[in-house]
Amino acid sequence: MKRAVIIFTRVPVPGQTKTRMMPHFSPEQCARLHTCFLKDIAGQCRGCGADIFVCYTPEAGKRKLEKIIGKAAGWFPQTDGGLGERMYTALADVLGRGYGSCLLVGTDVPELRRESLEKAFEVLEKNDVVFGRTEDGGYYLVGMKHPLKEAFSLNAYGHGKVLEETLAELEEKGFAVGFTDMLSDMDTPEDLRGYRRRMTQDRRLKESFTGRYLARISRISIIIPVYNESCTIEKMQRQLLPLKDRCEILFVDGGSTDDTLAKISPAFRVIRSRKGRAWQMNEGAARSSGDILFFLHCDSELPAHPLERIRRVMRDHRAGCFGIAFHSKNFFMFTCRVISNHRIRDRKVMFGDQGIFLDRELFFEAGMFPEIPLMEDYQLSLTLKEMDVKLGMADRRIYTSDRRFPPGTIPKLKVMWKMNRLRKMYRDGMDIEKIAQMYRDVR
């Protein structure tokens, strides 16, 4: 029995496709995403032993689709009318060419697999209609052996009861219905965040056209808590200026009493917050829009191409940081660097001066930074460790200031010893307010 699959699609034109992704992504990025979806879906369709047809709109876009999809058994434009009418006409057209069964698939499901298509054909052998359900109450696939107008009788599509109402109509008419695998539609930025989460665990997704493109365009929000940073704020801005149009940058001021705010250029967004890194970083995260949140200290010195390095780590992980280094040539500062970088791999603990970055969804799932006066970064690491989140490390280091260390070798050693002791007190359950009183804020 001859089998066919119809790829039912819109031509990926900027501003006319995946518009619910805007303005999170530009019109050009949305069109490119749709192009990646098409390539991934067409690749899976080719492996299921069926002839491929492409039903598209607008009619003038055939040549563009041919470059994206490649060879197909047939091409034909979508007819006029509502969505249901257009899907019915496409299936009737192909089934009228002598095919014993035909599936019609949409192009919002880049996670479609050949196995799901093969399963749909198997289900169709014993049923009149087969559907591939989506998690939002719709369907990404419909298949039949004979054109059934009853499967497309709804007056409206795009709502959460599309499949439920369609099934009710078919069951009332006595048709047998079966299902293949459930998949997720990619309609919104939130949907893509779920895809990214699954991508870290699924190499096939990571290596797909969609996965590779998403890894390149993941939106990053850089969140910098500031308080009396008059000496560092201008240098930080010089580093961030070349990145300004490629990511979101938020300075979160905790009530500076010096001229920090006056020195921040109008080119950057400033948010006011209660003093305290935890409060400031949480406020910045809540008001950000990035897929990846990057928390950066104002006295840090970024390596070249920081956004690309972060995205590279986040292809395989949901959280990570940079290694740390100091410009100081003091032996104990070198020791501090070695211990800090080793701690990430050995004890799965990262600190704020290493530039923590993590998946937005994970940050809120972990409860954000605990709103405590000290060790908010340490506790976040401990929480992620309890959640069994694997940490990644970028291939270049952040240089950070040694301003919290006093001059001289012995005084530096005493500070290192003190910090270890304070962390031990925290783990042992000592009141964080008492610990904070023992920690000197250099500003």
Dump pLDDT digits (tens) for 130-166: 999 999 899 999 999 999 999 998 877 777 788 999 9
Read off the pLDDT of residues 40-68 as tens digits, 9 standing for 90 and up: 999 999 999 999 999 999 999 999 999 99
Closest CA to 351 of 426, 268, 283: 426
- Residue 125, C-beta contacts closer than 8 angstroms, at least 6 positions apart: 101
Poorest-pLDDT segment among 30-34, 74-78, 325-329, 404-408: 404-408
CB atoms within 10 A of CB 57: 16
pLDDT band at residue 430 under the 50/70/90 scheme: confident
Read off the pLDDT of residues 311-359 as tens digits, 9 standing for 90 and up: 999 999 999 999 877 665 655 555 555 556 566 666 678 888 889 999 9
| Mean pLDDT of all residues in 77-85 | 93
Which CATH code is given to the segment(s) 220-437? 3.90.550.10
Under 8 Å between Cβ of 402 and 409: no
Which CATH code is given to the segment(s) 3-192? 3.90.550.10
| Mean pLDDT of all residues in 248-272 | 97
Confidence at residue 339, expressed as pLDDT on a 0 to 100 scale: 58
Q: What percent of the chain has pLDDT over 70?
A: 90
Confidence at residue 443, expressed as pLDDT on a 0 to 100 scale: 40
Q: What is the 3-state secondary structure (H, E, C) of the chain?
A: CCEEEEEEEECCCCCCCCHHHCCCCCHHHHHHHHHHHHHHHHHHHHCCCCEEEEEEECHHHHHHHHHHHCCCCEEEECCCCCHHHHHHHHHHHHHCCCCCEEEEECCCCCCCCHHHHHHHHHHHCCCCEEEEEECCCCEEEEEECCCCHHHHCCCCCCCCCHHHHHHHHHHHCCCCEEECCCECCCCCHHHHHHHHHHHCCCHHHHCCHHHHHHHHHCCEEEEEEECCCCCCHHHHHHHHHHHCCCCEEEEEECCCCCCHHHHCCCCCEEEECCCCHHHHHHHHHHCCCCCEEEECCCCEECCCCHHHHHHHHHCCCCEEEEEEECCCCCHHHHHHHHHHHHHHHHHCCCCHHHCEEEEHHHHHHCCCCCCCCCCHHHHHHHHHHHCCCCEEEEEEEEEECCCCCCCCHHHHHHHHHHHHHHHHHHHCCCCHHHHHHCCCCCC
Read off the pLDDT of residues 281-295 as tens digits, 9 standing for 90 and up: 999 999 999 999 999
- Residue 163, C-beta contacts closer than 8 angstroms, at least 6 positions apart: 131, 133, 134, 137, 138, 139
Q: Where in the chain is the domain with CATH 3.90.550.10?
A: 3-192, 220-437
Q: What is the mean pLDDT of the chain?
A: 90
Bond into 58 cis (ω within 30): yes
C-alpha span between 395 and 292 (Å, rounded): 18
Closest CA to 176 of 208, 148, 138: 148
Under 8 Å between Cβ of 83 and 13: no
Poorest-pLDDT segment among 13-22, 112-121, 320-329: 320-329
- Residue 438 pLDDT > 90, yes or no? no
Under 8 Å between Cβ of 204 and 110: no
- Residue 403 pLDDT > 60, yes or no? no
- Residue type, position 280, single letter: Q
Confidence at residue 442, expressed as pLDDT on a 0 to 100 scale: 42
C-alpha span between 108 and 112 (Å, rounded): 9
C-alpha span between 314 and 439 (Å, rounded): 33
Closest CA to 384 of 408, 368, 398: 368
C-alpha span between 218 and 311 (Å, rounded): 7
- Residue type, position 287, single letter: R
Closest CA to 320 of 329, 332, 331, 312: 312
CB atoms within 10 A of CB 382: 17
Tokens of 298: 């104002």
